[in-house]
Amino acid sequence: MIILMRRGCTPEEVQTVSDRLKDMGYDINPIFGVEKTIIGAVGVPEYDKLEAADQIQGLSGVEEVIFVSKPYKFVAREFRPNKTIVDVGGVKIGGDEIIMMAGPCTVESEKQLFQTAEAVSRAGAKILRGGAYKPSTSPYSFQGMGLPGLQLLKEASQKFGLKVITEVMHVRKVEEVCEYADILQVGTRNMQNYDLLREVGMTRHPVVLKRGMNAKLEEWLLAAEYIASAGNENIILCERGIRTFEPYTRNTLDLSAIPSLNSLTHLPVIVDPSQGTGRRDLVGPMTKAAVACGADGLLVEVHPNPDKAIKDGAQSITIQQFEKLMPELAMVASAVGRELPLPIRA
C-alpha cells in the first residue's frame, strides 16, 4: 500500500509509520517530495493486511492510505486463470450458453406457479425463480408462503424439468431452503449480512449473490469472498440495479458492472432487469443489452396474469411477452458469440 503523509508532518511521524509497517512485514520505500512525503509499502498481499491499513490510517501525520492490490483473493480474476462455471445439476452457468431463470416474483398458488413454470420451460428457461420467503420493506406486507411455497417450487421443478432458485433470508432456514432449492439467492438487503453469508458459505449449494443497492463493486466482491472463504466457491453474481437520484426507474441498472466484473473476477455474472428497472416495458430491452455486454444469464419475473400478482406485478412480464422475448434474445446472444438454445416446437 501507499501512505501519503500530511504536509508538514514530522520526521518522527514518518519514522513511526515506517516502523509500524516494518513490524507488519512490509518493505518500506519513503519518497521525500518537495510537497509531500510518500511511503511505499510492498511485499505483503493486501487481503492479509486490511487491518494494517485501518491502523496506519489512524496514525498521526497520515493523510491517506491507498491500496495497490485487491483486498480479496479467492474471487479475484488472478486467482483462477479461467472463468468459473457453476454447475447446477447439469445446467452450466458461466459457459457459452446464456441461462434464463424465470418465474413469478412470489409463489402464490400451485396454479400460478405451475402455469408459469410450464410456460417458461417450454420457452427455453432452464431455471425456475419464485419467492417463498420475501423480504418486504413493510412488516405489514405479504412475507411469502414459506415452506409450502418451497414445496410447490420443488414439485414444479420436477414436473417441468427445471432447476429452482429462491431467496434465503434467515440463517436458521438455510438448511430448509437447501432441501428444496438448487440455488440459494442472497438478496440485495442481505448482501452485507455477514452471518447469512457465512451460513450459505458453509453449504456447497450454488449461491446467487445480488448486489447491494448501494454496494461498490469492491464491497460486492468482498461479500462474495465471505462465502468463498467459508468454503463455497459456487457463487454467481447478480447485478440488480443501484440506488441513484433518478426516480423514473426503481433502480439504475448498472450494466457496465458486467464487463467490469468480467475483468475483476472469474465468477459468472447474471442480471435481474425486473428489479433493476421496476418497469415491465424496460425488461425486454435491458435483457438484450445485458446479453450484448457479456451477461451469463438473466433472472426475469414472469407472471401468468400480472394484473393479479400479489407483488411487483408492474415489473413482471407476461408469459406471452416472455415467449416473444426468447427468440429475440437468442439472436443477440448469437451476435456476440454466445448461445441461447430454444426448444424445438412440435
Distance CA(278)–CA(316), nearest Å, equals 8
DSSP assignments along 301-330, one per residue: EB-S-GGG-SS-GGGPBPHHHHHHHHHHHH
Rule CB under 8 A: say whether 38 interacts with its own copies: yes
Residue of 18, 24, 40, 205 interacting with its own copies (CB under 8 A) = 40
Residues 6+ apart with CB under 8 A from 262: 269, 294
The residue from 15, 216, 324, 343 that contacts its own copies (CB under 8 A) is: 216
Q: DSSP letters of 120-160?
A: HHHHT--EEE-BSS---SSTTS-----HHHHHHHHHHHHHH
Contact residue for its own copies among 109, 151, 252, 321 (CB under 8 A): 252
The Cα-based distances of 270 to 99, 106, 167 in angstroms read: 9, 20, 15
Range in contact with its own copies (rule: CB under 8 A) among 118-126, 154-162, 174-182, 220-228:
220-228
Q: Is 59 in the site for its own copies (CB under 8 A)?
A: yes
Per rule CB under 8 A, is residue 139 in the interface with its own copies?
yes
Q: By CB under 8 A, tell whether 328 contacts its own copies.
A: yes
Residues 288-317 interacting with its own copies (rule: CB under 8 A): 288-294, 306-314, 316
Q: What is the closest distance, in whole angstroms, from the C-beta atom of residue 302 to its own copies in the complex?
A: 13
Structure-block grid coordinates of residue 31: 519518497
- Of 227, 254, 230, 102, residue with least CA distance to 163: 102
Contact between 183 and 149 (Cβ < 8 Å):
no
Q: In the range 176-205, which residues lie near its own copies by CB under 8 A? A: 189-190, 192-196
Query: Applying CB under 8 A, does 255 fall inside the site for its own copies?
Result: yes
Provide the pairing of β-strand 2-5 with 62-66. antiparallel
| Of the candidate residues 98, 131, 277, 296, the single one contacting its own copies (CB under 8 A) | 277
By CB under 8 A, tell whether 35 contacts its own copies: yes
Decide: is 81 part of the binding site for its own copies (CB under 8 A): no
What would the grid cell of residue 121 be? 420451460
Q: Does 138 bind its own copies (CB under 8 A)?
A: yes
Identify the CA nearest to 3 among candidates 45, 55, 47. Answer: 55
Is residue 85 at the binding interface for its own copies, with CB under 8 A as the rule? Answer: no
CB of 91 to its own copies, least distance (A): 24
Nearer to its own copies, 90 or 337 (CB): 337
Asked if 155 interacts with its own copies (CB under 8 A), we say no
Check binding of 285 to its own copies (CB under 8 A).
yes
